Amino acid sequence: MMLELPKSKVAAVQAAPIFLNPAATVDKACALIAEAASNGAKLVAFPEVFVAGYPYWNWLMTPIEGGAWFERLCRSAITVPGPEVDRLCAAAREHDCVVVIGINERDPRSVATIYNTNLIIGANGTLLGKHRKLVPTWAEKLSWAGGDGSSLKVYDTAVGPLGTLACGENTNTLARFALLSEGELVHVANYIALPVAPASYDMAAAIRIRATAHSFEGKLFTIVACSTVSEEIIEAMSAERPANRALLERKNSAFSGVIDPAGNVIGDPLIDDEGIVYAEIDLSACIQPKQMHDIIGAYNRFDIFDLRVDRRARASASFRDEPEALEAEPVKPQA
């Protein structure tokens, strides 16, 4: 059977959520899915924790000052499965497109355990899987728990074998290599705009560099979707701290775009402004570059290197209940 690889139009959304309002943010997400699909997109990628917001207070306040905001984050986090997920799946099915979207996922048993999670939804509306960010970055550890290896997977989708990592995970060489080893050809890297990074840190450039590195090393397409910082978020975070406004208005804090297997930006990327980036991807373009560097095949030495990935799901406890008592056999009457 001849190898046939898909061609697709993809969309990367650069937008802000309705801050800590999951219902309204899902409304916005569904409208953006409809818009992107009407323009021919077969994959719509959304920012990190788009439903419904990033804990900027961790960078702008002390942990005690941010406590009330953490509670708001917990109350606005959603469960998987849940009504918000159902609506997103219905939108993907209605518009016949793959959707990758970041959420704050609340643990079903621990009301204060939240994961930074990406949902992967098939074009038929099926929730194919979810990926929990393995290691929250820096100040994010005040809000999110780390995921486990069970979600480090590549999914068979209408646009090709697809994997995803959230924000700083795209710096993790071994996480990226694990996805490549599963045959990833389409990578969704989603981010939040981070204007509160150190003054010397150019977030837009850092995002582009990481995406370029993964595409060039893996010979695949990377779709980058980044959030923006809305006036609503700025007002919320600077109401009692006016100096925060200048920090949150810093430019070059968001980059969204599509990178090809040679590391080139294709289509028209966005920096800072809200919008949707579109590009055509042809997975056949992943073949010839691998003749030069196929790091999961001929351009590696697996007799020297051995990566082992533990994909067992973890839980806070495992319970072993007593088996039900066997019913006593009836006593047979003696003759």
**Catalytic site residues?**
48, 133, 167
| Secondary structure (H, E, C), the chain | CCCCCCEEEEEEEEECCCCCCHHHHHHHHHHHHHHHHHCCCCEEECCCCCECCCCCHHHHCCCCCCHHHHHHHHHHCECCCCHHHHHHHHHHHHHCCEEEEEEEEECCCCCCCEEEEEEEECCCCCEEEEEECCCCCHHHHHCCECCCHHHCCCEEECCEEEEEEEHHHHHCHHHHHHHHHCCCCEEEEEECCCCCCCCCCCHHHHHHHHHHHHHHHHCCEEEEEEECCCHHHHHHHHCCCCCHHHHHCCCCCCEEEEECCCCCEEEEEEECCCEEEEEEEEHHHHHHHHHHCCCCCCCCCCCCCCCCCCCCCCCCCCCCCCCCCCCCCCCCCCC
